[in-house]
Structure 1
Amino acid sequence: MEIRNIKSSNKKVIQARLGNTSVNKTTFIKDINKDDKGFYYVADNGSDEQIYVPSADTKVNASYARISIRVFGKKAGKSVVSFDIYDINGAKTGSAKVTVVSTKDKDIESITFAGKSLEQGDTIGKTDNKYIYKGKDINTFYEYTTKKAGKLKVKAGKNTKLVRIQVGVLEKYTWNNTMDPDYGEYNYSTADRTNTNTTAYETTENHPVDLNGDGDYDDVIDGMSERGVKFRYKTVKNNKKITLGKLPEYRNENSSRSATYTANADMNASESTTINTLSGENVAPTMIKVTVYNKVDKEYTDYYYVINKRIKKY
């Protein structure tokens, strides 16, 4: 599970090299799941994609790798970056090519909130004087603004079309595991054993949400996994006033599990966990998601910006 022979067809335009690599090798076999239409699949490591397999007897090794390629633009132009792919046994399984465009043009020329830039600047070591967090990243523990609301303005680059602006805020969410569609799989009794699992929490962090109302948390809706929803977005118009969120990130959780055996009490076991991060933050984050279409690359891209509003101790 690696890539080799990384090459750029035009090194004067693009230089490419291996980036961060994470490899997990195992002899474990993945669990086979069945969807509501009767088809079998396994979950892809590192994403929520479902990979379908021929039958319930299919053996899929659980090894996985996350590999990145770093590209460096030397000047404007295009280059094809190619590489070979090798599996867990060191055998070559294929090759791939990616066309990379290097340009001085930016997808987003500028983005401001209440007249302050959400971009730090283009020069390393030099901060834009209109940067919203100027000085805050050095002199304080948090980067923040004290503004409660202001106009959000996005100016797209000359080769870019502004598609959509979304504003995401945290929501207070209360959940317990009786709401889980799989609750019965880990809370059950047999003649020999009783398994009990309880989890209840209040949080503004990642939590499961059935976004499309189909009774599970297995889908990805508009790029958002139902198993880990954090910011709830709404679409806003450009150059209009927005109001920042008021909630910080926190999680209060109590969970416990136990196993009780009918014939062998010595095997009985239980454990409990308590998590409390209610007073850990003093800023409320608002996520700005800007979707653009690059007319040269013919691709859609999402850009994210966080606006932290300072709040009193929660």
Structure 2
Amino acid sequence: MGKFSRMGAAALAAALSFSMVAPISANAEIMKNYDAATDTYTYCNEDTNEVVTFKADEGKMEDTSLLYNEKKVYYVNVGQYMEIPSIYTTPDVVKFTGFKSSSKNLKLRMYDSFEATNTGSPKYAYYKKVDGKKLYFYRDVNGNMQSAEWDALKEMYKGSGWYRLQFYAKKPGKYKVNFNAVNAQGAVVANKSITIIAKADTRAIKSITFAGKNVLKDTDGDGRDDYRNYYAKTGNYTTKKKGKLVVTANKGYKIKKLEISSAVVAADKPDDGWEGTKNKGTEEVDINGNGRTDDVVNGQSEKSVNRVWKTIKNKKTLKLSTTSEDAEVDYSLVNKKDNSKTKVRKTNGIIHPTFLRVTYYDTKNKRTVREVYELWLLKK
């Protein structure tokens, strides 16, 4: 997971917050694994248990998002214009038309769109050699995985489009949006639809409390995390080193697992010509226990691990990390040829992050999703 950038004075207030106000990342995941001993890649959809595997010289993953089942349910807040992720055509159709809401209580606006004919290349998930043939695997307009050789795929592909939609829901409810899939000859080959659920709070995670305080507090009732007023008395900060952690999901989501990790501070090699100690923010870890650190395990390279996750239980006491992420840049070095030359850097960070990874199941779309939050402990 990516780290926050170093914070300047303008962002210091945010650093003093117990900042779980928005996830660092929120992803449904295809689990990527690489076995260096056999030079083999394996990709697994953890919800369907579908597996794609190939040797490095016989295949390549192009777009893991196409391995997911098609997403058909989206959430929007009532009384706000909200955009959903772009909708893309598949290689067997050139455009979508006739987007229409099923109710006057759900306004639909085409915010942005793109359509092209006889240009570009078809989107595919991956290619691999099968019986000596190089086959390209792609999703068709009905969401089924198909395969074809490149020339045949190019011949079928005549154009593409993508569409960004905004919605305004007047009332809570469940709505349908219908549209048509059109091929290169102008014929409608499929009738498509998505479901829009309008509600007050569209977040998967309803609340996260630490030591009795809801650090995902929604103070203005719009269903979104509030985090700009860092100096307010209700601001999300803590000096408590431990407390009960309670994570609650909204309707339509089920929590599967909670994990925590602290900042990694490991020993690094001194600069050339120097000796002493030097830190870094990653370390080598034998995650799968096979005695090597050259594999990729569930998307994590063993050679460069910056988060070591530990499973915890919900509604139990959590002890926050006291490791400063800033310490990864510390060093104390002496020149090998001239010991009068030294280099010392020592940080004394006042914030200590604990990373919380929440794995939950989206029951409407039948997808497992992970969100990572940062919990900041303020040093007294």
| Higher relative contact order, structure no. (Cα contacts within 8 Å, ≥ 6 residues apart) | 2
Task: Tell me the TM-score normalised to structure 2 length.
Answer: 0.43
